[in-house]
Amino acid sequence: MARKTTKPITRKPKATPLRKQQKPIFRTGTWFTLLLLAALIGFTYYLNSKEPIAELEATPAREETFVFGEQDGNITSIEIKPTDANGETVKVARGSENVWALELPFATEADQGLVEAAASQVAVLRIVSEVDADASILGLDQPAYVITIEFADGTKRTLEVGDNTPTNSGYYVRLDRKKIMILTLSGIDSLTALTRFPPYLNTPTPSPLPPTTTPDPPTEAASTPEAAVTPTP
């Protein structure tokens, strides 16, 4: 009997299973979102910390104050003098009968309504804020206008008007050459406008110029004809 030949059994090696690749806990997009969120939180905190300062600056630190206070109802004269050629010096004064009259640029009757309006503006010149700075950088070394106010008790106060503020919210003004402050535009403008439009009751008519005489042209002296000379024989 023939023997059965047995084939050697070859065992295939078992394939090692591939390990699954672990995914990162936070992806790149997630990190970016977290960083953006942290930045927004920080910016919000910064804005919240600045709000009290902004409110403090926007809120007036005190009530409205005026330049002349209790003296405002006793004004007896106002003089506005420009320091350049833009206008002429104007002065109005209250007479014994409580009637305003123009003294400059020349003496004449004044429009009572216009002068009373100017006096009312003086009474309500409001201080926006006080300034601690060199007068030369505020246009006060050579002011554009000098306003002199006289009161019934004989006191005189002067206002020197300098430059506009950078925000155009008022003028730098020096009171009695001492205290520098910012006053409102409307109050100062209404006063300085009088130097261009004085409060005449009647617009003065310019006096006619005297007639000019044209000199006669010089006449030449008539020449005397020479006598005929008779020759001597």
pLDDT in tens, 90-103: 999 998 888 999 99
Instruction: For 132-170, give one letter per residue: b (16+ CB within 10 A) or e.
Output: eeebeebbbeebbbbbebbbeeeeebebbbbebbeeeeb
Tokens of 57: 């600056």
Tell me what pLDDT residue 90 has.
96
Instruction: For 92-108, give one letter per residue: b (16+ CB within 10 A) or e.
Output: bbbeeeeebbbeeeeee
Q: Which has the closest alpha carbon to 146: 87, 71, 101?
A: 87
Please indicate whether residue 151 or residue 22 has the higher confidence score (pLDDT): 151
Which residues lie closer than 8 Å to 99 by C-beta, 6 or more apart? 112
This prediction's pTM = 0.60
Distance of CA 96 to the CA centre of its chain: 38
> Domain ranges in the chain?
65-195
